[in-house]
Amino acid sequence: MNIYSNITQTAQLIGDATRMSILMDLSGMHALTASELAKSANVSPQTASSHLKKLIEGNLIIVRRQGRFRYYQLSNEEVAKAIESIANVSGPLVSNSLNDFTKKKKLEFARTCYGHLAGELGVKITKALMTKGYIKETDNSRYKLTHDGELWISKLGINIAKLNINVHSLPLHIDWTVRQNHLAGPLSLALTKKFLELGWLREGNMKREIILTPYGKKALCEELNLWSTKVCKK
């Protein structure tokens, strides 16, 4: 035992393939049942329960009861950030089957990252917001929302005041599949929820998967001038 033993124990918890699958699925922010997590990780319910118990004991996830069901979720956003950071230094996703390849492509294109939009689409939208002058990079690796950006956000029907954010210091994440920055934090979460509400995006059948609808493709391209991007050509 040494002063880093607690860090080692957490690393060992995360280092298991099944537990990483569980943590990745929960990084989308949705609470999931043990059976859902077991199916996604391709393990038996008994095996999943054993791993879930260890993750709870390690303070990485929590469980909430709702009626006769038990729902699991990450303990906090810091766990999601830790998983994303590990993914960032681990290289591209590996696909050893057609099913894995399909899953890989879907997650690379668009997924949720603790509720907000990530992947290729998240990066494209972030770049478009900068091109339109709605957000700008700051000197401390953050974004700031411009006056034009505030007007656009309000036009979408998002109440910025209720988000309780510092518009001059918006967080960003380095996307672990695209390896470029995307907007993160409460504003990005609000935008993602609004796009889902408007029908521009919808949740896919796969955990964390986000699908760009035909209506959303047209609307986002018109709103953010994405006509020349790969997203709008698809």
CA distances to 132, 150, 176, 177, 198 from 90, rounded to whole Å, are 33, 36, 9, 10, 35
List pLDDT tens digits, range 72-113.
999 998 898 888 888 888 877 777 777 778 888 888 899 998
Question: What are the residue boundaries of the structural domains of the chain, listed by start?
Answer: 5-90, 103-233
List pLDDT tens digits, range 52-74.
999 999 999 999 998 888 999 99
In the block, which residue shows the tokens 């950071």?
A: 85
Sign, CA dihedral 217-222-228-229, equals: negative
The CATH topology of domain 5-90 is Arc Repressor Mutant, subunit A (1.10.10)
Which pLDDT band, with edges at 50, 70 and 90, does 14 fall under? Answer: very high
List pLDDT tens digits, range 207-233.
889 999 999 999 998 899 876 656 566
Residue 8 has pLDDT above 70, yes or no: yes
Separation between Cα atoms, residue 7 and residue 42, nearest integer Å? 28
- E strand or H helix at 216: helix 214-224
**Within 13 Å, how many C-alpha atoms sit on residue 11's CB side?**
7
pLDDT over 90 for what percent of the chain?
Answer: 66
pLDDT at 146: 96
List pLDDT tens digits, range 147-206.
999 999 999 999 999 999 999 999 988 888 888 899 999 999 999 999 999 999 999 988
Separation between Cα atoms, residue 148 and residue 157, nearest integer Å? 15
pLDDT at 101: 81
pLDDT at 1: 65
Sign, CA dihedral 82-85-91-94, equals: positive
Q: Do 179 and 194 touch, CB atoms closer than 8 A?
A: no
Separation between Cα atoms, residue 147 and residue 164, nearest integer Å? 17
